[in-house]
Amino acid sequence: MSAPVNIILGVTGSIAAHKAIDVASQLTRLGHAVHVVLTAEAQKFVTPVPFKTLSRHPVVTGLYDEDEGWKPLHITLADEAHILVVAPATAHTLARLALGLADDALSCIALALNPAARLLIAPAMNGKMWRHPATQGHVRTLKERGAEFLGPAEGMLSCGYEGVGRLIEVDQLVARIAAVCQELSASKPPET
């Protein structure tokens, strides 16, 4: 790979947010530029420190985080992204993405995302929330726009129920993201 793939890892307010730390670490070790965006809800479960340390990039925690240049940071990230991964993605986040709501850094990045960038979404939520017609409608909308869903998986959920709704295993998630990175690298013209 001639240049690292720019990956934005959006982490939302799920108990599975802690697993995103390992995702960021593994993708960075593979040589990709990982820029983490934590929603306010995600910060109830994880802090920016491990993401910053493992990705070697500042972590975006708010819409008005500053960068060195004149352009808003969320627009710069959206312009330069090759992949936006939302993992874990809550039902609330799926609704915001499907409806085009832009009220935080992650949703603004998603709305302004480079049209050539790929959107990968790894849901994590209660099984009833996942199967609800509203959530399934948002999933259909996002798929129609080109989003790829990774999971959810079946198993014991943090709410005590068993069923579909778990974040897929970190290794599966990283493997799929790495495969998309390879696809993108293969399709890029050589740099001159």
Instruction: Show which residues are catalytic.
Output: 159
Give the integer Cα–Cα distance in Å for 101 and 69: 25
Of residues 92, 3, 17, the one with CA closest to residue 59: 17
The helix/strand/coil state of 18 is helix
DSSP characters for 77-115? HHHH-SEEEEEEE-HHHHHHHHHT---SHHHHHHHH--T
Give the integer Cα–Cα distance in Å for 100 and 112: 10
- Alpha-helical regions (H) of the chain: 19-29, 48-55, 73-80, 91-99, 105-112, 127-131, 133-144, 170-187
CB 44 within 8 A of CB 79: no
Give the integer Cα–Cα distance in Å for 136 and 120: 16
DSSP 60: B
